[in-house]
Chains A and B, each alone.
Chain A
């Protein structure tokens, strides 16, 4: 027992040295999630802020003053003041304003017109919606909108589960498979096998350091989400942790499966990159909502584990619902993990004893 432990620790120590020596990769892996979080959280925001607005008013009334006051105090607008109507087009053209609100009093009733610069459609649509909500207060049919769970519609929240879904595939599936396959390629795997060490110990020694690395990244991401991004902290954070550990286990099994199937680093990289990373980005709902996809793609997204993981984490992190609301996602993820792990172990057992890679 003592002997096995010491072999195991030295395998882990060796793997850790590899990781630490390859400081470029390590930096990328540690910095990337943080940068992605901050980028998506602040810089790449789909929110529209600081819409510059001018107003054209032919006759001031209580209502028009009220609307102008609202535009002035609302933090989404930068109110640039009142201008004559004939200047509006010039200002829009020169980019001095993003929108203009034209208020005309016609027989005691206010009629409004919104003119926007639609060269950026996203911005134009959003600003029209904002302005409508500001001036529409006097309408006949009031619309009451409630945005639950994310009342300020902060897009940062949305990206946290997605980035986690992506980064763990990257570290666990891609890095472990490349690391195992690279030992096959350089021939050191043969040396490891021609020793008293059991093949399963070798593989476990490969998986553990990446598991630890993933846990470090998970802690960093949760810490950032709950502090810098201001995600409301609740007991569901604990649920996020164990579901993520399940997801990490899945990704590690995937990495092991890949390493039993391919024999060069490049193939391992391509398989994990194209087969795993792309679907996570495109089809998991991380960026593009699954509901907007054509049906075949929606079905395809069902086999992507990240979809279920991201859905579960969204429910727990953003909706802050108890774990009982994500049972379906967890069950699917668990089945996938067991399946992939069983396949990887079966492949490994049939090949691990005799490393039947053909020799050049």
Chain B
């Protein structure tokens, strides 16, 4: 079993995976590979199908079509081997709030038939501060601490593959950053990590990322390459009346795309775009309080771009 895994070049191989909930297509024939020992990001908005994918990889769901191979094991046929070997951290930090930090850790260790002391070296750097409150109830911990405890529980049996489903949702910025430092450390211990997120800055810290939206993989690439795609001139625009502004901008020279983005508009500028001139023209056309300023692209800009390219 072990040798099979070590020979495998990819820790996870997904081919044509499809999952339907009634008539809703959650996953639409997706395929991608996660190389061994890498930090692989799965980026996509809510409802993209990320959690469904995780539930298939962790053998909690049966795919309607396609295969998923995790650590050399088929997710349907060899589900017991997968269950025993991967580390899983579901979307919400699923811990027992009425048990203490230590009790949670002990319990998850015993589920895998290991002792906390044997693998504590792996989680000690993660615990840090948390180690000082062994008797605090998990329910009384802050979001960041819960996240660390959940990661500790997922790692206590020294898995080769770590599946983290949106581990930084609902956690403060400092804890998020710390969390990614920890993942980098774990990667050095040759643990393959598949992590999903909806934050672009987090995606930058992965080796490779897959963009997923509406059950489809849009692109798999390095973050640098994907950022470069976003490196176009991007502007945010606003005025008192947004809708006339949107219509006007779409007719301006050099504007490749213009779309609503939160409370503002985002303008993708091409060659021949002059921001100052554009503002003047718009103001002259009767629009009041026109503002136009450069912004950094977000993951959603990338999705809009990819969706537009299709």
* Selected interface stretch from A15-23, A146-154, A233-241, A337-345: A15-23
Shortest Cβ gap from A13 to chain B (Å): 8
B243 at the interface (CB under 8 A from A): no
Complex: A193 Cα to B60 Cα, angstroms: 8
* Selected interface stretch from B6-14, B36-44, B91-99, B187-195: B91-99
A359 at the interface (CB under 8 A from B): yes
Chain B positions 45-59 with a Cβ under 8 Å from a chain A Cβ? 51-52, 55, 58-59
A354 at the interface (CB under 8 A from B): yes
* Selected interface stretch from A3-11, A51-59, A310-318: A3-11
A191 at the interface (CB under 8 A from B): yes
Whether the Cβ atoms of A186 and B107 lie closer than 8 Å is: no
Whether the Cβ atoms of B92 and A186 lie closer than 8 Å is: yes
Whether the Cβ atoms of A354 and B98 lie closer than 8 Å is: no
Complex: A194 Cα to B21 Cα, angstroms: 22
Tell whether A22 pairs with B110 under 8 Å between CB atoms, given A190-B58, A194-B58, A358-B21.
Answer: no
**Pick from A13, A18, A359: contact of B98, CB under 8 Å:** A18
Complex: A355 Cα to B52 Cα, angstroms: 12
Which residues of chain B are near A121, meaning CB under 8 Å? none
Complex: A6 Cα to B84 Cα, angstroms: 16
Complex: A195 Cα to B84 Cα, angstroms: 5
Which residues of chain A are near B59, meaning CB under 8 Å? 193-194, 354
Complex: A194 Cα to B80 Cα, angstroms: 8
Which residues of chain A are near B80, meaning CB under 8 Å? 196
Which residues of chain A are near B110, meaning CB under 8 Å? 6-7, 10
Whether the Cβ atoms of B79 and A353 lie closer than 8 Å is: yes
B261 at the interface (CB under 8 A from A): no
Whether the Cβ atoms of A194 and B83 lie closer than 8 Å is: yes
Shortest Cβ gap from A118 to chain B (Å): 56
Chain A positions 149-203 with a Cβ under 8 Å from a chain B Cβ? 186-188, 190-197
Shortest Cβ gap from B136 to chain A (Å): 13
Which residues of chain A are near B95, meaning CB under 8 Å? 188
B228 at the interface (CB under 8 A from A): no
B231 at the interface (CB under 8 A from A): no
Tell whether A22 pairs with B98 under 8 Å between CB atoms, given A7-B113, A10-B111, A192-B111.
Answer: yes
Shortest Cβ gap from B11 to chain A (Å): 16
Whether the Cβ atoms of A187 and B90 lie closer than 8 Å is: yes
Question: What sequence of 0s and 1s flags, for each residue 323-360 of chain A, a beta carbon within 8 Å of any chain B beta carbon?
Answer: 00000000000000000000000000000011110110
Complex: A18 Cα to B96 Cα, angstroms: 9
A14 at the interface (CB under 8 A from B): yes
B88 at the interface (CB under 8 A from A): yes
**Pick from A14, A186, A359: contact of B51, CB under 8 Å:** A359
Complex: A256 Cα to B106 Cα, angstroms: 26
Complex: A10 Cα to B104 Cα, angstroms: 11
Whether the Cβ atoms of A354 and B113 lie closer than 8 Å is: no
Whether the Cβ atoms of B96 and A6 lie closer than 8 Å is: no
Shortest Cβ gap from A29 to chain B (Å): 16
Complex: A186 Cα to B61 Cα, angstroms: 17
Q: Which residue of B lies closest to A186 (CB)?
A: B94
Q: Which residue of A lies closest to B88 (CB)?
A: A194
Complex: A196 Cα to B111 Cα, angstroms: 7
B183 at the interface (CB under 8 A from A): no
Tell whether A190 pairs with B98 under 8 Å between CB atoms, given A10-B110, A195-B112.
Answer: no
**Pick from A186, A197, A356, A359: contact of B111, CB under 8 Å:** A197
Chain A positions 3-45 with a Cβ under 8 Å from a chain B Cβ? 3, 6-7, 10, 13-14, 17-18, 21-22
Whether the Cβ atoms of B111 and A195 lie closer than 8 Å is: yes
Whether the Cβ atoms of A194 and B86 lie closer than 8 Å is: yes
Question: What sequence of 0s and 1s flags, for each residue 216-252 of chain A, a beta carbon within 8 Å of any chain B beta carbon?
Answer: 0000000000000000000000000000000000000
**Pick from B21, B60, B86: contact of A190, CB under 8 Å:** B60
Which residues of chain B are near A191, meaning CB under 8 Å? 88, 90, 94, 108, 153
Which residues of chain B are near A14, meaning CB under 8 Å? 96, 99, 103, 107
Shortest Cβ gap from B85 to chain A (Å): 9
**Pick from A13, A17, A190, A196: contact of B88, CB under 8 Å:** A190
Tell whether A21 pairs with B60 under 8 Å between CB atoms, given A10-B110, A187-B92, A190-B90.
Answer: no
Complex: A134 Cα to B114 Cα, angstroms: 78
Which residues of chain B are near A358, meaning CB under 8 Å? 21
Q: Which residue of B lies closest to A21 (CB)?
A: B98
Q: Which residue of B lies closest to A20 (CB)?
A: B98
Shortest Cβ gap from B220 to chain A (Å): 24
Complex: A22 Cα to B88 Cα, angstroms: 27
**Pick from B21, B52, B96, B103: contact of A188, CB under 8 Å:** B96
Q: Which residue of B lies closest to A2 (CB)?
A: B113
Which residues of chain A are near B83, meaning CB under 8 Å? 193-196
Complex: A195 Cα to B61 Cα, angstroms: 15
Complex: A191 Cα to B106 Cα, angstroms: 14
Which residues of chain B are near A3, meaning CB under 8 Å? 113
Which residues of chain A are near B214, meaning CB under 8 Å? none
B176 at the interface (CB under 8 A from A): no
Which residues of chain B are near A190, meaning CB under 8 Å? 55, 58, 60, 88, 90, 94
Q: Which residue of B lies closest to A9 (CB)?
A: B110
Please name 11 pairs of A and B residues whose Cβ atoms are closer than 8 Å in the assembled complex, sorted by A.
A10-B106, A186-B92, A188-B94, A190-B88, A191-B94, A193-B59, A194-B88, A195-B84, A196-B112, A196-B113, A358-B21
Interface pairs A-B: 5 shortest CB-CB? A187-B94, A10-B110, A196-B84, A21-B98, A195-B111
Query: What 16 additional pairs, Cβ within 8 angstroms, besides A187-B92, A193-B59?
Result: A6-B113, A7-B111, A7-B113, A13-B107, A22-B98, A187-B91, A188-B95, A190-B90, A194-B58, A194-B86, A194-B88, A195-B84, A195-B112, A196-B83, A353-B79, A354-B59
CB within 8 Å of A: which residues of B?
A: 21, 51-52, 55, 58-62, 79-80, 83-84, 86, 88, 90-92, 94-96, 98-99, 103, 106-108, 110-113, 153
